[in-house]
Amino acid sequence: MEEKKKNYFFPSSKYNLVNFSYLNQIKDILFETDAEGNLIAINEAWVNITGIEQGKLKNKPVYELFTEDIRDSFLIDFRRLLKGELSSFSLDCKLNSDTPLSSSFICNLSRVTSDKGKLIGTSGRISEILQPIPLSKNGENGNNLFKNVFETISDIYIHLDKDEIIQLVSPSVKEVLQFSPEELIGKKASEIIILPENKIEVVKILEEYKAAENFETYLKTKDGNKKFVSMNLNILKDSENNFLGINGIIRDITEKQDRKLALKESEERYRKLSSLTFEGIVIHHNGVVLDMNARFSEMMGYEKEEAIGQNIIEMMIPEKWHPLVNQNISLEYTLPYEIEGIKKDGHIFPVEIQSRNIHYKGQWVRVVAVKDITNRKKAEFQIRKTELKYQKLFDSSSEGIVICDMDGNITEVN
């Protein structure tokens, strides 16, 4: 009796959009996840390429398809995909396998939504790239699977020959660098898109590691500007170990770099302002001190190293004020209010604080301006004391006393 052919696609679900028998004939790895990112389907190509049985993956997180060294970068974009910030994305990937794989792979993922736009899962394709596939004159290539990925990939796929001549580049280069593929093919990469000052560094990395993963650098655009990119580069060699060229995946991370630089500039401005202000400045996250200026250190008597990592509420504020301070933190209260502080020597003194939430070093934190109001309180006490003294004289005088304003209106009599 003929043995029944295994179907490595998981059991049918409402998310499977095409016929399973057809999917299992495709050489690319095809898979689907639910809305939480757990695998619900994968075709037979996975088993053929990796040797790992499908049963080990059912309902597992999709990142388990990949080796641990690329999971962090994968999860960044995958989470954005689930949130709807991306409709699709692609990446150069390494697969989990029972035996080492020498081939390179590209993974392309897309959102799957209902008619009403609700996320119901994701679908993905993993394509094996053994070597670049030359384009014919009419722009078509013989491998339809590669062509589909090549034409829809959001990152730039590029192939250079042994002389650094661009032989193949994906249409996505137009969006990132403004060049059309036709303007780049046949040109030397180092003369048209790679900055001269970066060429030596790229060559050095390739010679030393035989590849470059998440290598960040600038590339030239057609209008002379720069784009900050992350590159994954692989050296291609024949069976006799002769150098054939380079395959690369290039991702535009200019916005990410701009945000990083803006954050750095913001932090520099904070440091400059906090060093000039007469107020004590302290930054904390849920009460734990992250940073402070010299004035705050001087005011409280603690060196910066002593305070960082400590709970400022427990360490520097009397217990009777804890409920108010914790309440204002939870309410994100921003108006000034008065409490007391405790110096390192145990001295308790009055302070005025004003706080707000800011984005600092990648997280939302609380920045607090602290004023020592000891002198103000002393002055207020003296004023009240003087007022009380004259009020007693006013009330006990045997003579009649009338107080008028500047317009002659009586305001008070004894």
Band of the pLDDT at 308, cuts 50, 70, 90?
A: very high
Q: What is the mean pLDDT of residues 97-106?
A: 81
Q: What is the mean pLDDT of residues 54-73?
A: 88
135, pLDDT greater than 80: no
Among 98-112, 265-279, 344-358, whose mean pLDDT is lowest? 265-279
Average per-residue pLDDT for the chain = 79
DSSP track, 263-283: HHHHHHHHHHHHHH-SSEEEE
What is the per-residue pLDDT for 62?
A: 93
What is the per-residue pLDDT for 12?
A: 41
pLDDT digits (tens, 9 = 90+) for 23-33: 555 677 888 89
* Percent of the chain predicted with pLDDT > 90: 25
Give the residue among 103, 145, 109 at the shortest CA–CA distance from 31.
109
Q: What is the mean pLDDT of residues 92-105?
A: 83
Q: How far apart are CA 292 and CA 153, in angstroms?
A: 46
For residues 195 and 219, is the Cβ–Cβ distance under 8 A? yes
139, pLDDT greater than 50: no
Task: Classify residue 388 by burial, with Cβ atoms within 10 Å: 0-12, 13-18, 19+.
Answer: exposed
147, pLDDT greater than 80: no
For residues 169 and 157, is the Cβ–Cβ distance under 8 A? yes
What is the per-residue pLDDT for 360?
A: 76
Rounded alpha-carbon distances, angstroms, from residue 320 to 122, 286, 299, 360 = 53, 18, 21, 30
What is the per-residue pLDDT for 9?
A: 47
All domains of the chain, ordered by start, with CATH?
1-130 (3.30.450.20), 150-252 (3.30.450.20), 258-372 (3.30.450.20), 385-413 (no CATH)
